[in-house]
Structure 1
Amino acid sequence: MLNTTGTPELRAGLERQIERVVEQMMDMKGSLKESAPIGIISMENWEWPQGVGLFAIYLYFQEKRDPAMLQYLTDWFDRKLAEGPPLKNVNTMCPMLTLSYLAEETGKTAYLDACKEWLHYVMHDMPRTPEGGIQHEVTGQLNPGQLWDDTLYMTVLFVARMGILLKDDRLIQESIRQFLVHLKYLTDPVTGLFFHGWTFEGHHHFAKALWARGNSWYTAGLVDYLEMLELPWGVQEFLVTSLERQAAKLRELQDASGGWHTLLDDPSSYLETSATAAFAYGMLKAVRKGILDASYAECAWRAFGYVVSQIDADGVVQGVSYGTGMGRTLQDYRDIPICPMPYGQSMTLLLLVEALKHG
């Protein structure tokens, strides 16, 4: 599928779809009994899915400058900060990325103070693995010695952003170290894709899962990371060539429908919409920014077509897998239930907004 967003009629239709997706995300309540220690479906909770959703809304606000969206975001944080945020860990850190932008946008001292408090935790108290990697501690689980690919999006983007906001190069260097350590241990040298996790306790990649959404955190997160800051040339080339290898294999593994399977190299596992949206967003943005070759646009537009086909008449994104812990077997990934989730809405939103820039 080639870019078909250029005509005024199609762009207007895309705008209407964006509004429906945003509305459904803001009001998301959940449709199944949750297994996560903190609920991860409803936008009334404070966890990583809500963090991803809030960031997507903020990026859309940057495009539209709609005061109602800014009000939604500030109301959300005012309410949650007054209630008292949850225990700090890798995943609950995710909303802080959006708060760092709101601190600058609004000038609210309370927002900046909260960001500094959480940043201090990352830099001084958050558990580390050997070689200084951020241990993927989550609500209810310490996960000692474990590196997960999710961490780069959930926590490291916030560290980099605070480096820019506070003009503190030490934070930029820490974000670089985290990208390098994670890629050192999570990259599959055969495919160029990323394993879900690595443990220093036993020195293995668990089920050796080439899990789609985990991979997509790199595809989507890297383009935003590179947009945030200027990196040393050697570091940038390392990260970009890692993206190029990943994208080349993704293009090879893309399903005829345009989507990707939740286990990227296993066609018997189900197609998963949130990862497909994040891959398409990352590729389209990377092409627009000149990070990836223009030939990847066709792959991304095919994925765009698949994602659009998964948005129902109400704006709910279907085909999204529930939160996924570290699987000990590949079957664990195949068995994750499917239900609408904030990150399905948010990654779809990022993709739809990016598509408007290619008209």
Structure 2
Amino acid sequence: MLHDYFETYVRNYEYYKGGAWCYEDGCLYRGLITLYEATGDDRWLDHLIRLVGGQIDASGRLAGYEIEEFNIDNILAGRALVFLYRLTGETAWLSAATLLARQLETHPRTESDVYWHKLRYPHQIWLDGLYMALPFKMEYARATSRPDMADETLRQFLTALDLTYDQATGLYRHGYDESRQQSWADAESGLSPAHWGRSIGWLAMAFVDIIESLPFGPVRQELADRASALASRLLTLRTPDHRWLQVIDRPDEARNYPESSATAMFSYFLQKLARLTGSASYAHAGRTALQSLIEHELRPAPDGMIKLHNVCCVAGLGGFNGRYRDGTVEYYLSEEIRPDDIKGVGPLMMAYAETKRDTQSKRLIGNEDGDKVELSTTSER
């Protein structure tokens, strides 16, 4: 069962960066939260508390976290702190989250008032960063009764959507450089040149997580409309077996491949968007993508362990580790592929959790088709 795979993965999980607070661990925390919410199984909550608690010292400091780095990635795992505070009422969780909220008060911004991706990536907006920071900011605003913070979150998100949208393709570009100083940035638009699947996956997840936090009204409807437009475009870009490519709109590239983290993210996005808006076609597409991902990529590795294969380890823009990442198709296809990387496994948990939510809701209303959504893995055969 998928539960067994997830349980083994989490039980054996080692902090991604040796215990330092980071977004990679935050991907696992999001997976555990969604599994707990979907199933009510306390083991996922127990793992969450064990792992998050292990990164906070007796003084409430986050391990390895330095606000002066102004790294937007470090915000993501803070959603687990807000979740645990709202679940337990224990103020220690909120106090730790407040450290991250304080970073956002002074984090550098573009002239258009959107957060720089990082201090070392000045004047730049990346789709990754929208997911790393803005759902946290929205959830923190709700937990602390800060409508001004929630309003600012929405303004930033809408501005970033406008700046990163590529009208010619109906997709969003990975990066935008307001200064036009980066060689990857188009001199006219400031946009990076290619469409990396996972970067759009980060954005897609930000869409539905922010929408979920909003009351019904015009702003929620506007975001739902934009998310639905993206969803419709994504459906046209699926591979024949219902997955998505590393460079999402270039099936003509011989070295291109179905990438597992993006596929999991889009499965989560489509299913959750369906839950929030009632679109049955999106729900079906999301479940079909999840089943295809499991059938093709959740399989034994050479060590005999079941692992999720074809996960791009990392990709970015600009200088990193002595290399300049130029954002081209060729660049994205050159990045390392690593089985069981948490950036794939966390979204897989999230996508599966959405399927469980859908299955349970169908059972509650007496839909006899509900049982047909149960998924199997290669370990069950």
TM bin (shorter chain): 0.7 to 0.9
Alignment of 1:184-223 (within 5 A): 184-202=162-180, 204-223=189-208
Query: 1:336 is matched by which residue type in structure 2?
Result: E
Question: Are the aligned partners of 1:94 and 1:155 in contact in 2 as well (CA < 8 Å)?
Answer: yes
**Kept in 2: contact 1:320–1:341 (CA 8 A):** yes
* Counterpart in the other structure of 1:344: 344
Q: CA deviation at 1:41?
A: 4.1
Q: Which residue number in structure 2 is paired with residue 242 of structure 1?
A: 226
What is the rounded CA distance, in whole Å, between the counterparts of 1:188 and 1:163 in structure 2? 30
1:324 CA drift (Å): 1.2
1:316-356 CA deviation, whole Å, 9 max, x = no partner? 21111012112413211011111121121111111112112
Q: Identify which of 272, 280, 285 aligns with 1:294.
A: 280
What TM-score do the two structures reach when normalised by structure 1? Answer: 0.85
Alignment of 1:140-289 (within 5 A): 142-202=120-180, 204-230=189-215, 232-233=217-218, 235-267=219-251, 268=253, 269-289=256-276
Matches within 5 A, 1:10-21: 16-21=1-6
Q: 1:231 and 1:148, CA in 2 relative to 1: closer, same or farther beyond 3 A?
A: farther
1:23 equivalent in alignment to 2:4: no
Structure 2 counterpart of 1:354:
354
AA aligned to 1:331 is E
Q: Is the 8 A contact 2:20 2:64 kept in 1?
A: no
1:165 Cα deviation from its structure 2 partner: 0.3
CA distance in 2 between counterparts of 1:17 and 1:72 reads 16
What is the deviation of 1:232? 4.2
Q: Distance in 2 between matches of 1:149 and 1:230?
A: 24
Report the CA distance between 1:300 and its aligned residue: 2.3
For residues 228 and 18 of structure 2, the distance between their equivalents in structure 1, rounded to whole angstroms, comes to 34
User: How many pairs does the alignment contain?
Assistant: 328
Mark the CA change 1:349 to 1:92 in structure 2 (over 3 Å): closer, same or farther. Answer: same
Bigger relative contact order, structure 1 or 2 (CA pairs below 8 A, ≥6 apart): 1
The alpha-carbon distance between structure 1 residues 290 and 207, as it changes in their structure 2 partners (threshold 3 A), is closer
Is it true that 1:118 corresponds to 2:100 in the alignment?
yes
Give the aligned residue type for 1:317. Answer: L
1-side partners of 2:241 and 2:201: how far apart? 18
Q: Which has the larger radius of gyration?
A: 2
Q: Which amino acid aligns with 2:311?
A: V
Alignment match, 1:334: 333
User: Are residues 1:81 and 2:66 paired?
Assistant: no
TM-superposed CA distance for 1:45, in Å, is 4.4
Q: 1:299–1:205: structure 2 CA closer, same or farther, 3 Å change rule?
A: farther
Separation in structure 1 between the aligned mates of residue 135 and residue 151 of structure 2, nearest angstrom: 12
Q: CA deviation at 1:53?
A: 1.1
Identity %: 23
Is the partner of 2:233 in helix, strand or coil?
helix
Cα deviation, residue 296, structure 1: 2.8
Q: Look up the equivalent residue of 1:335 and give its one-letter code.
A: S
Asked if structure 2 preserves the Cα contact closer than 8 Å seen for 1:22 and 1:349, the reply is no
The letter of the residue matching 1:351 is: A
Match of 1:71 in 2: 46
Higher strand share: 2
Alignment-derived partner of residue 12 in structure 1: none
- Whole-angstrom distance in 2 between the partners of 1:105 and 1:44: 24
Contact residue 53 and residue 342 of structure 1 kept, 8 A: yes
Per-residue Cα deviation, 1:170-205 (whole angstroms, up to 9, x for no partner)? 111111012111101111112221100100111544
Unaligned regions of 5+ residues in structure 2, if any?
181-186, 318-324, 360-369, 371-381
| Corresponding residue number in structure 1 for 2:110 | 129
Letter of the aligned partner of 1:325 in structure 2? G
> Which whole-Å CA distance do the structure 1 matches of 2:287 and 2:40 have between them?
27
CA distance, structure 2, for counterparts of residue 111 and residue 54 of structure 1: 14
For 1:45 and 1:263, the matched residues in 2 are separated by: 31
2:34·2:349 contact (CA, 8 Å) conserved in 1? no
Aligned to 2:363: none
Are the equivalent residues in 1 in contact too, given 2:110–2:116 (CA < 8 A)?
yes
**CA 1:210/1:98 → structure 2, altered by over 3 Å: closer, same or farther?**
same
SS of 2:153's equivalent? Answer: helix
Alignment CA distance shift 1:43-1:70 (3 Å): farther
1:52 Cα deviation (Å)? 1.4
The Cα shift of 1:26 comes to 4.6
What is aligned with 2:310? 319
Q: What is the RMSD computed on CA atoms of the aligned residues?
A: 2.1
2:134 and 2:206 in contact (8 A); partners too = no
**Alpha-carbon distance in structure 2 between the residues aligned to 1:98 and 1:133:** 23
